[in-house]
């Protein structure tokens, strides 16, 4: 199993540009989520999904859109990038998202918005 | 969600046990205590979790006090590769797998 994969690893955008961060998992996990981590800070939840076709907002959803058309993929879209979205983005997945389920994290995408 | 208090940083000699404390005095009865770690520039990695009883796996041991207001993560024989930020995270109830990461403890293992 590849686990949780994220692309790209690095990205530089100009203010106002749009892009999609890709996340995929091959563990047949129902639950997937996106976090962002700013320098010196802990991770903060952006959006999450408990299964295909179902998404919900986390702690910091503004400026981001998600969709979940398949179990494997959970892309994160930035419609109009802002410098405040400069961060490291982590995708995670778990079997069902239940209390005792272990979450597996991807390697991260480092995004800089100029 | 329960609030947590962890030391900002700790040091440990290689080969010795590392004991990382966490205070979670407001934890609710249905919240588990999770420990994750994040090695520099990598995604967080699951270590261990528990509800009431002490737990042990191949990576670490978790000691939870009887009143569940605090816990200690024990790395029995720390190595240089254990240098990381360690997060104590109560999670459960209605939080549906959502993890709230605080500042964590920066553990530095010295040769």
Average pLDDT score, chain B: 92
Q: Supply the pLDDT for residue B3.
A: 85
Q: Supply the pLDDT for residue A42.
A: 85
Distance from CA of B15 to the nearest CA of A (A): 28
Q: Looking at the predicted structure, is the pLDDT value of residue A13 above 70?
A: yes
CA A17 → CA A10, A46, A114, distances in Å? 15, 19, 10
Average pLDDT over residues B25-50: 91
Neighbours of A102 (CB within 10 A): 15
Rounded-to-integer distance, Cα A24 and Cα A92, Å: 9
3-state helix, strand, coil in chain A (%, to 5): 5, 50, 45
Task: Reduce the DSSP state of residue A84 to 3 states and report it.
Answer: helix
Question: Is A89 touching B (CB cutoff 8 A)?
Answer: no
Q: A108–B43: do the CB atoms touch at under 8 Å?
A: yes
Q: Looking at the predicted structure, is the pLDDT value of residue A65 above 80?
A: yes
Mutate to test the interface with A, among B28, B62, B97, B101 (most CBs of A within 10 A): B97
Q: Looking at the predicted structure, is the pLDDT value of residue B38 above 80?
A: yes
Eight-state DSSP code of residue B5 = B
Q: Supply the pLDDT for residue A101.
A: 81
Question: Is A90 touching B (CB cutoff 8 A)?
Answer: yes
For B58-102, the pLDDT digits (tens) are 999 999 999 999 999 999 999 999 999 999 998 876 666 678 888
Q: Supply the pLDDT for residue B92.
A: 75
Distance from CA of A70 to the nearest CA of B (A): 20
For A74-108, the pLDDT digits (tens) are 999 999 999 999 999 999 999 887 766 888 999 99
CA A24 → CA A67, A71, A77, A107, B27, distances in Å? 13, 9, 14, 12, 33
Portion 8-27 of A in contact with B at CB < 8 A: none
Q: Supply the pLDDT for residue B69.
A: 94
Rounded-to-integer distance, Cα B39 and Cα A57, Å: 27
Contact A30, A95 (CB under 8 A): yes
Q: Supply the pLDDT for residue B1.
A: 61
CA quadruple B78, B79, B83, B86: dihedral sign: negative
Average pLDDT score, chain A: 93
Closest B-chain CA to A93:
B97
Strand locations in chain B, DSSP E?
9-13, 18-23, 31-38, 45-50, 55-56, 61-64, 70-75, 84-92, 105-110
For A21-55, the pLDDT digits (tens) are 999 999 999 999 999 999 878 899 999 999 999 99
């Amino acid at each position: 199993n590849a686990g949780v994969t994220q692309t790209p690893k690095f990205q530089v955008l100009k203010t106002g540009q749009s892009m999609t961060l890709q996340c995929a998992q091959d563990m047949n996990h129902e639950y997937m989520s996106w976090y962002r981590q700013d320098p010196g800070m802990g991770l903060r939840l952006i959006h999450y999904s408990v299964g295909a076709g179902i998404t919900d907002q986390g702690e910091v959803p503004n400026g981001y859109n998600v969709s979940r058309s398949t179990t494997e993929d959970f892309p994160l879209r930035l419609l109009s990038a802002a410098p405040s979205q400069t961060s490291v983005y982590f995708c995670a997945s778990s079997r069902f998202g239940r209390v005792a389920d272990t979450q597996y994290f991807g390697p991260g995408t480092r995004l800089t918005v100029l | 969600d329960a609030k947590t208090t962890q030391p900002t940083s700790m040091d440990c000699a290689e080969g010795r046990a590392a004991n990382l404390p966490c205070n979670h005095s407001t934890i609710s009865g249905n919240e588990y205590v999770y420990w994750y770690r994040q090695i520099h520039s990598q995604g967080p990695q699951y270590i261990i979790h528990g509800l009431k009883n002490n737990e042990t796996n191949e990576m670490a041991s978790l000691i939870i006090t009887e009143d569940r207001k605090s816990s200690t993560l024990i790395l029995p024989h720390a190595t240089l590769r254990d240098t990381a930020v360690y997060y104590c995270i109560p999670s459960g109830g209605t939080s549906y797998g959502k993890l709230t990461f605080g500042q964590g403890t920066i553990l530095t293992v010295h040769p």
